[in-house]
Amino acid sequence: MPMRITFWGVRGSIPTPGPGTVEIGGNTSCVEVRAGKALVILDGGTGLRLLGQKLLQEMPFTAHVFFSHVHWDHIQGFPFFAPAFAGGNTIHLYGGNNVSRTLEETLAGQMDYPSFPVQLSQMASTMKFQDLVEGQVLEIDAGDGKLRVTNARGNHPNGVWAYRLEYGGKSVVYATDTEHYAVVDPKLSALAKNTDVLIYDSQYTPEEYAGTAGTGGSKVGWGHSTIEEAAKLAKHCGAKQLVLFHHDPLQSDDAVKEKERRTREWFPNTIAAYEGLQIEL
């Protein structure tokens, strides 16, 4: 099997534990991708803690963690990623220098006293940081071939990166925390051309985005997209499957299921991401 995708956290903005979110899950963004012997982790939200518990059984290992950006809901699981405290593991960490600090400085900053009792420098694993530039191509050894990772910039306050992973003739695109334009985003459409799986920021319904439903008024300019725009992008780029991702913290399990139902009217091969979902290519 060329690639296996596992979802460990599918929420946006803040974790949402409680009886109304148990089916979809309440952890923030974290997706695991296996390609041959390569282990890739997309974002380090609170779902990363759960993945870390599973990975304790596979140590020592090498992992490649790609951060879309460094807003808190995408990095807050890293201080609780148990394998990072164990010697013998090698963790490559990639992200863009979108703001005033590097990825390493940002991850260290959230663990500085008094916010956290253990500093990044006290983690025993070997960490290798790499700041990305747009259009950069990376190749990761997958044992019987190379896993190719390319990127593009999205539309989000302070910047965001979308990633395309290709291996064994299959591909997955991870494009979260990005706001649509009046036209289909040309960069994301090019990145996701003919992809097998498009994981896309679908935080809002069109009504929630416009402010005619939900709370908080208009969400224009907040850096997130809608289910309708997800379907438009999936059609435009020729994606085979669309995965709705980064669900709003105010959306219950039933509300997420309704997003899935509505989106299937525009793009039939759609599924709403939930914790534990696995897709094999």
Q: How far apart are CA 191 and CA 148, in angstroms?
A: 13
Question: What is the identity of the amino acid at 205?
Answer: T
173, 197 contact by CB (below 8 A): yes
Q: How far apart are CA 236 and CA 63, in angstroms?
A: 33
Count CA within 13 A, CB hemisphere, residue 186: 0
DSSP3 helix / strand / coil % (the chain, rounded to 5): 25, 30, 45
94, 138 contact by CB (below 8 A): yes
Q: Could you read off the pLDDT of 20-73 as tens digits, one per residue? A: 999 999 999 999 999 999 999 999 999 999 999 999 999 999 999 999 999 999
Given this model, what pLDDT does residue 216 score?
85
Q: Could you read off the pLDDT of 206-219 as tens digits, one per residue? A: 999 999 988 889 99
237: containing domain: 3-280
C-alpha closest to that of 47 among 274, 211, 209, 229: 274
Given this model, what pLDDT does residue 101 score?
78
Q: How far apart are CA 98 and CA 88, in angstroms?
A: 30
Mean pLDDT of 101-122: 90
Instruction: List C-alpha distances in Å: 13 to 57, 92, 115, 197, 243.
Output: 30, 25, 19, 23, 18
Q: Tally Cβ neighbours within 10 Å of residue 122.
A: 9
pTM for this predicted structure? 0.96
Mean pLDDT of the chain: 95
Count of residues making up the chain: 281
Given this model, what pLDDT does residue 102 score?
87
Count CA within 13 A, CB hemisphere, residue 113: 4
Percent of the chain past pLDDT 90, that is, above it, reads 90
Q: Quote the crossing angle between the two packed helices 253-266 and 227-237, to the nearest 10°.
A: 40
User: How many structural domains comprise the chain?
Assistant: 1
CATH code: domain of residue 34: 3.60.15.10
Q: How far apart are CA 243 and CA 249, in angstroms?
A: 17
Would you say residue 100 has pLDDT above 80? Answer: no
Would you say residue 1 has pLDDT above 70? Answer: no
For 134-141, which contacts have Cβ atoms below 8 Å and span 24 or more sequence positions?
A: 134/96, 138/94, 140/35, 140/38, 140/40, 140/64, 141/37, 141/38
Question: What is the identity of the amino acid at 163?
Answer: Y
Would you say residue 15 has pLDDT above 70? Answer: yes
Given this model, what pLDDT does residue 244 score?
98
Would you say residue 98 has pLDDT above 70? Answer: no
Given this model, what pLDDT does residue 214 score?
82
